[in-house]
Structure 1
Amino acid sequence: MLPRRTLLASLVFSLLGSTALAQDNWPSKPIKFIVPAAAGGTNDVLGRHLQEPLSKLLGQPVIMEYKAGAGGAIASQYVATQPADGYTFLLHGSGLVTVPLVQRKPLYDAMKDFVPVSLIGTSPMVLMTHPSTPATLKDFVDYARANPGKLEWGASALGGVGQLAMEAFHEAAGIKNMVMVPFPGAGPSAQALLAGQTKYMLSTPSSATRGLVAEGKMRVLGVSTARRSPLLPDVPSIGEVVPGYDTETWFGLVARTGTPQPVITRLANAIAQVVAMPEIQEKIRGVNVVPQSGTQALGDIIRKDNVQWAKVVKANNITMD
């Protein structure tokens, strides 16, 4: 009869060998990308652009599954409770970080429950204004500073990145006491701006935005990134008038903490190959996202967002509960 220590050592080596074998054979079944919103949003569109070429590279189907609600928290909590076996991933964006920061009882911890797999792309936010307000970024900021409480601004989601980015803009620009008007989504918020019910908002750019600007129904005065965006090269960066202001939205894939590193590395490498394809880059830019990839790049953005938005939430006592 084998000694107890020998039996335990054999069991450990057997388990390690089985785990290594499972990782070597990954993927051996379909992979799920959980989307924290209904079909048709930017996350979904980006995932569908990657879906077919990723399936070909990995040799298994990539399936999109939708779990909308609670600002993305339902989908995030779901993935955080799934087995860390490399078959269920979360295709999310900036809301992964902002939502638990504004919940009194968060359903998950963005920093502890997830690890980055790969960035897919980033997008600036744009400062959109009603034509009744000053026509240049500098003149608008000067007017807003000189007239505290005189302008209404739209928030497309309470506690969302648009609201947090606007509060950060106000603080950096020295703009005080403006009136926030919340709306259930970017569409209603944009309609209120067009009608003059609000005078400005921060949102991601779109083809509809470009059309409305061309018709003179709204203006785009600046992009939120530190430098001008390749998506809108003729639009100044807000930082050119408000030094230090720098924020952007992002889209990427994360996994539950504990997912084997070889699995993350292989999937990240596959995503990098797909994102580098010229036809995929064109499709990604078509939804106003700058194509990017990388595990470390996504991890750096998530950590930066967590620090930046936590400060804004605390300073402004923001909650969505």
Structure 2
Amino acid sequence: MHRRTLIAGALLALAATVPAQARDNWPERPIRFIVPAAAGGTNDVLGRYIQEPLQKLLGQPVVMEYKPGAGGAIASQYVAQQPADGYTFLLHGSGLVTVPLVQSKPSYSAIKDFEPVSLLGSSPMVLMAHPSTAETLTQFVQQARAKPGSLEWGASALGGVGQLAMVAFHDAAGIRDMVMVPYPGAGPAAQALLSGQTKYMLSTPSSVTAGFVKEGRMRILGVSTAQRSPLLPDVPSISEAVPGYHTETWFGLVARTGTPPQVVSKLADAVAKVLAQPDIQQKFQAIYVVPKSGTQALGDIIRSDNALWEKVVKANHITMD
């Protein structure tokens, strides 16, 4: 009996070491990055920039998969339900935090269901305006205050950071009763602005919008960061006309809660090495994203964003249901 007990104990101990060995040898098969939008968005572009160099460092393919819809909730809920084995990650941004805050029955929790792997970068938001509106940020704020309800503004996703950041801007600037028009993405929202269907919106800058500005089809009145952005040094900060206003978007990789810490650390280290490469930094900056890495840095942003946007949502009774 004693011999049988020893054998059984040895077998159990051996079985317990297998997961640890698997974690030490990670990755042993392709890794998936789930993108919460259609191909072509900023998340996707950033993922493709780091895809090849990550593959070289990790020795396994990095596969991009797209699960658009519901402001990113479909992709987020999908990853939250996958095995916590370190082979499925979510390449998301600020919407990871904002969307569940505006759902009456949240499909996931950004804090409870996910753990940070690495920040990828941050980007200022810009206040874009149709040429028929005021020429400067100060004039725009003054005219909007004077005429409540007179302008329409576009939101690229219900519950997205663009919507919540605009509501926060209105509150800080004393702008009242403007008409929100939601669109299924930044592209359609920008087209509505160009056609004059809406008069302003907050979104991340891009080479496309820079082209529209150069053509005189839209104006960029201000950036959302507390100080002027090095990416757009000639554009005033919104806080210059609306003191205290500050927000920015971020992009990063998260994993399902319970993912082995060795895996998180190894992937985070690989991402940091990739983001340190000069050519990668140039590619990020060309699409108005400041490259940044770090597991703790991403965790801090997620928690601070959750506290900030929860207050905005509750104070303004915002819901997407």
TM class by shorter chain equals: over 0.9
CA shift for structure 1 position 287: 2.1
Which residue is 1:204 aligned to?
204
| 1:151 counterpart residue number | 151
Stretch of structure 1 that moved more, 292-301 or 179-188: 179-188
| Aligned twin of 1:223 | 223
Which runs of 5 or more residues in structure 2 are unaligned?
none
Aligned residue in 1 for 2:34 = 34
* Secondary structure in 2 matching 1:123: strand
Name 2:256's counterpart in structure 1: 256
Q: Which amino acid aligns with 2:143?
A: Y
The 8 Å contact of residues 117 and 254 in structure 2, kept in 1 or not, is answered as yes
Q: Measured at CA, do residues 95 and 2 of structure 1 come closer, stay the same or move farther in structure 2, by a change above 3 Å?
A: farther
- 2:285 matched to 1:285? yes
Q: Structure 1: any 5+ residue segments left out of the alignment?
A: none
Give 1:4 deviation, angstroms: 11
Q: Which moved more, 1:8-17 or 1:218-227?
A: 8-17
Q: 2:71 touches 2:158 (CA, 8 Å); kept in 1?
A: no
State the match for 1:94 in structure 2: 94
Answering whether residue 182 of structure 2 is matched by residue 182 of structure 1, we say yes
Partners of 1:239 and 1:72 in 2: CA distance: 29
1:140 is displaced (CA, Å) by 1.3
Distance change in 2, residues 1:188/1:282 (3 Å): same
Distance 1:11 1:177 in 2: 69
2:214 is matched with 214
SS of residue in 2 equivalent to 1:65: strand
CA distance in 2, matches of 1:245, 1:234: 18
Percent of aligned positions with the same letter in both sequences? 74
Q: What is the total number of aligned residue pairs between the two structures?
A: 321
1:27-57 alpha-carbon deviations (Å, 9 max, x no partner) = 1111111111222211111111111110110
Q: 1:126 corresponds to which residue?
A: 126
1:160 maps to 160
What is the alpha-carbon distance in structure 2 between the residues aligned to residue 129 and residue 211 of structure 1?
A: 14
SS in 1 for 2:270: helix
CA contact (8 A) 2:97 2:306 kept: yes
**For 1:60-118, what per-residue CA distance to the aligned partner results, in whole angstroms no more than 9, with x for missing partners?**
11111112222211111111111111111111111111111111222111110000000
User: What is the alpha-carbon distance in structure 2 between the residues aligned to residue 61 and residue 87 of structure 1?
Assistant: 11
Q: Distance in 2 between matches of 1:43 and 1:30?
A: 19
Structure 2 length as normaliser, TM-score?
0.94
Aligned-CA RMSD value? 1.9
- The change in CA–CA distance for 1:6 and 1:281 in structure 2 (over 3 A counts) is same
Q: Give the match's secondary structure for 2:188.
A: helix
1-structure distance, mates of 2:192, 2:68: 25
Distance in 2 between the 1:256 and 1:97 partners?
14
| Equivalent pair of 2:36/2:66 in contact (CA under 8 Å) | yes
TM-aligned CA distance change 1:243 to 1:11, over 3 Å? farther
Instruction: Give 1:71's aligned amino acid.
Output: G
1:60 aligns to 2:56 (yes or no)? no
Cα separation, partners in 2 of 1:144 and 1:11, compared to 1, 3 Å: farther
Separation in structure 1 between the aligned mates of residue 204 and residue 4 of structure 2, nearest angstrom: 62
1:306 CA displacement: 0.8
Task: Write the distance in 2 (CA, Å) between the matches of 1:239 and 1:4.
Answer: 73
Partners of 2:206 and 2:123 in 1: how far apart? Answer: 11
Report whether the alignment pairs 1:243 with 2:243: yes
The structure-2 alpha-carbon separation of the partners of 1:144 and 1:29, relative to structure 1 and needing over 3 Å to count, comes to same
Aligned to 1:48: 48
**Cα distance in structure 1, aligned partners of 2:10 and 2:237:** 61
- What is the TM-score normalised by the length of structure 1? 0.94
> Which residue of the partner structure matches residue 173 of structure 1?
173
User: 1:219: Cα distance to partner?
Assistant: 1.0
